[in-house]
Amino acid sequence: MTIAIPPARNTDSAITPTDIPTVPAVVGARLSVPLVTGDRVTYANLDHAASAPCLEQVRDAVDELLPWYASVHRGAGFASQVSTKVYEQARDTLRRFVGARSSDTVVFTRNTTDSLNLLAKSLPRRTSVVLFDTEHHAALLPWRGPNVRRVQTPESPAAAVPALEAALKLCPEGPRLVVVTGASNVTGELWPVADLAAVARRYGARIALDAAQLAPHRPVDIKALDVDYVALSGHKLYAPYGAGALIGRADWLQAAEPYLVGGGATKNVVDWGDHLGVAWSAVPERHEAGSPNVVGVHALAAACDTITRHGWDRIVAHEQALLTRLREGLRTIPGLHELSIFHGDHDRVGVVSFTIHGHEAGLIAAALSAEYGIGVRDGAFCAHVATRRLLDRVDATEQRALRASLGLGSTVEHVDRLVAALRTLVTEGPKWTYAQQDGRWVPADDTRPLPPFVAS
C-alpha cells in the first residue's frame, strides 16, 4: 500500500506546482521505499548537497560507452581508441562548462577533495594561503603550516571583501593563494567570488574556487569571475561515477612533482643501476597516474552537456521556486531556527540547515526517513567549524543540525511532505520507538527488508 502524505498547511507561499519549470529527469525519481509502519511511499530525496542522483541522460551515456570501454591512451585496439577519444573530449566539455581560458588545463580527479589536495601539493614553496574558516573540510584542511591564514566568518558578503584584504596585507612577499567556496554546503549562501577575486588581484594572489556546491546550481565562469582554479565533483553534478576535476592555470601544476606516481604520469623511465631516472609527463597526464576513470569522466561530461543544453534559467527557476516554498514552510514550524552565515537574507542555492528547539537532529532525521520516506542529512556536514559556530548563534543545545537540500530530483510534493512531517513530529512526536546504535538513532525492531542486491 502507498500512503498519501498531506501537503504543508498554513503557508502563504504563492508558489504552486504549475510554477515549477521542468528539468532533466533523475534516476530513481519513482523509487518506492518501505516505511517502518509497513506502508510504502515514493522516496523524497532532500539530500542533494551530499550526493545528487544520477541524471537519466548520464546513465544512458554510460550505457552507450560500456561496450566500448577499454584502457585509454596508447592502446592500439579500436575500443581503446574510442575510449581515449571520449576521455579527451571530456576535457573540452569541462573547459566549456566552466568558461575556462584556452590555456587552462583540466586534470581529472576523484572529487573536489582530491582536486584541492592536488592543488595544495602543487603550490610553490612558501606560498601564503588565505581562506575563510567557514569552508568545507575539502577546502579547509589541505593547507597546513605557518603560511596559512584563516579569516573569521564575515557578517555579510560585502564584509568579506575588507576582511580578505586585511589578511592579504599581512602576507609576506611571495606566491599567494586565496581559497573560497562558491556556495556554502551548510546554508547554501553564495559568496561574492568576483569581488574577492578582484581583491586577490590587487595583492598579487591567485584564487581557487571550491565549486562543489555552486556548479550543480549556478553557472560557473572562470573568466567572468577571474579565478585561477575551479574544483568540482561529479557526484554533486548528477554524475555519481567517481570523477571530479581541477581546472585552471597550468604552470604551478606543471612545475610540481606528480600527485601520484605510476603509469601514465611518466614519459620515460631509465634504469641507472643504483636508481631510476624518470622523466615525468606534462600536465594534465602528469597528475593522472594509473588507469583513468574513463566511465566516470564520460559521465561527468554528459552531465555538464545535459545541464548546458537544458539551460540554466530553467534550472535556477526550478530550484529557487522550491527553495522559496521550503523556507516559507519551515517558518511555520514551532521552534525551528534556520542557520545563516551572513546577517540578513542573501542569495543562496537550494540548501537549508536548521535546528528545532528541544528536538535532537539525529532523531528527527531518523523519523523522517523511517516514518515518512524522506531523506535529509543531520550532523555538521563536513564543515564542523562553520556549523558549530552557527549553532552557537541560535543557542543550540547540541552540535548537530538538520539539512534539507534541493536539486533536479526535488518536487513540490517532497517539500510539502517534509514541512508536514516536521510539523507532526514537533507537535505530536514520532509514532515509532527509536534507539541509539553506534551513536545514531535508528528505529527499534526494524524489519524492513533491504533490496535483494544488498547482503543482509
Cα radius of gyration rounded to whole Å, the chain: 23
- Residue 76, classed as helix, strand or coil, is coil
DSSP string computed for 144-195: -STTEEEEPPPSSHHHHHHHHHHHHHTSPSS-EEEEEESB-TTT-BBP-HHH
For 137-171, give one letter per residue: b (16+ CB within 10 A) or e: bbbbebbeeebbbebebbeebeebbebbeebbeeb
Residue 428, classified by CB atoms within 10 Å of its CB into exposed (0-12), middle (13-18) or buried (19+), is exposed
Bridge partners, 110 (sequence order): none
Instruction: Tell me if residue 171 is catalytic.
Output: no
Contacts of 162 (CB under 8 A, 6+ apart): none
Residue 12, classified by CB atoms within 10 Å of its CB into exposed (0-12), middle (13-18) or buried (19+), is exposed
The grid cell for 346 is 542573501
Asked whether the beta carbons of 440 and 68 are under 8 A apart, the reply is: no
Give the β-pairing of 276-280 and 266-271: antiparallel
54, 171, 304, 382: the catalytic one is: 382
Asked whether the beta carbons of 351 and 185 are under 8 A apart, the reply is: yes
Q: Write out the catalytic residue numbers.
A: 382
